Structure 1
Amino acid sequence: MADYTQTEWREKLDKDSDAVIIDVRTEQELEDGFIPNAIHLDIYQGQAFIDKVQELDKNKHYYVYCKSGGRSAQACAIMNQLGFKSAYNLVGGFTEWQGETTKN
């Protein structure tokens, strides 16, 4: 797992053809908006979250965020334990995100 600042995360993401963005916030938090093309996997879903993560391609690079960076760091650690080599945490999370966002 690697912790990246907002700038580092976005620069790395923009250059990565194997990038997958994962939002680990709750459904309610999604109402504030989300980063375009993010896959929603609520970390509070426990085993359901782990089951969904295990379905992902371990060869891809995962850019993970939550509201402030704490839950996404946990998600990256879980992914590493499950054999994922490239999980990148967004320090400061969606709260500090200054890039593009969208709403449902």
Structure 2
Amino acid sequence: MSSYVLDNLEKYHCFTCDKEFILSEYQRENATEEIICPYCHSKNVEDYVFMDDEDGLNDLGCMGISHYTDPKEEFECWARTWGVIEEMRKKKGGNKALK
């Protein structure tokens, strides 16, 4: 698949719960809602580290976030991983979180 790219990463700090999380630049640029803390859901967050080289990924505590620029390739990748997992869960009686 030719459209696979490793994203630039941004590390955020939540000033409400004092935890940190990482998003890709692509996720931030394509977010349809305001970025909030995934732990406490506070809007009191700020990015403070931007990483655009592979050597620095360990400094962020992350091996990397990536995406496909071609939506068809993105869906094919999703279907091979999460699509299979969803089918397995359905066969075992389902998962309320997915419904």
Q: TM-score range by the shorter chain?
A: under 0.3
Q: Which one has more relative contact order, counting CA pairs under 8 Å at least 6 apart?
A: 1
- Which structure: larger Rg? 2
Q: TM-score, normalised by structure 2?
A: 0.24
Structure with the higher strand share, 1 or 2: 2
Q: TM-score, normalised by structure 1?
A: 0.23
